Chains A and B, each alone.
Chain A
Amino acid sequence: ELKVEQNPLFLSMQEGKNYTIYCNYSTTSDRLYWYRQDPGKSLESLFVLLSNGAVKQEGRLMASLDTKARLSTLHITAAVHDLSATYFCAVGGPGGGADGLTFGKGTHLIIQP
């Protein structure tokens, strides 16, 4: 059974600081997703990582994937208040996209001025 663990689950940080959210998963997968969710809203896709060593960046967010360590990270650089949200990582099963994703419990991120 695929398990996905995120940490931390809650993070309060100040604007301008850097921080990293970690996502560990228990079985082999070559598909790792990061989503953002604002309160009361649906999930917004941030990154899709499909190979070992993949790194993607968008603005102040950068995601990476190490399939050998079964670890992905979401790094926040010089945080700003607008990045406050809940961030989820999700891992794909062996069905190549047809069998759904297994999600972590989410990291609730608050960025204070």
Chain B
Amino acid sequence: DVKVTQSSRYLVKRTGEKVFLECVQDMDHENMFWYRQDPGLGLRLIYFSYDVKMKEKGDIPEGYSVSREKKERFSLILESASTNQTSMYLCASSPDPVGYTFGSGTRLTVV
């Protein structure tokens, strides 16, 4: 089975901190994605990447950046964390239109 691993299950950070959320997949997928999930809003796409060093903005990229230096790893960066970035963050990877696999999520609280 494809595994998408997010390094932290829970994180608490202070306002203004630089925050790194890490995601690793073990099946050589080209496509990787970062979503945030908020109650009543569903999942919203932040950034995605279809290849190493390639990145594309999703629907809500403001306040975030990403890094993909290796195919298996896709990092989400909060340059200066703010309280409105408190959320559940989900990483996903996919080799094709059928096979999206999601990680277990990182619940980030910014205080």
Interface set of A (CB-CB < 8 Å, partner B): 4, 9, 31, 33, 35, 41-43, 45, 48, 50, 88, 90, 92, 95-106
Contacts and interface: CB of A to CB of B under 8 A. Distances in A.
Interface residues of B, number: 27
20 contacts: A9-B40, A33-B100, A41-B105, A42-B102, A45-B100, A48-B97, A48-B98, A50-B97, A50-B98, A97-B31, A97-B94, A97-B96, A99-B48, A100-B33, A100-B35, A100-B45, A101-B100, A102-B45, A102-B59, A106-B42
Nearest to A9: B40
Contacts of A45: 100-101
Max count, chain B CB within 10 A of own CB: residue among A92, A95, A98, A101? A98
B12 interface: no
A88 B42 contact: yes
Max count, chain B CB within 10 A of own CB: residue among A35, A43, A50? A43
Given A42-B90, A42-B105, A43-B90, A97 B98 contact: yes
Contacts of A104: 42
Given A96-B96, A105-B41, 14 more contacts: A9-B40, A41-B104, A43-B43, A45-B101, A96-B97, A98-B30, A98-B50, A100-B48, A102-B59, A103-B35, A103-B42, A103-B44, A104-B42, A105-B40
Interface in B27-68: 30-31, 33, 35, 40-45, 48, 50, 56, 58-59
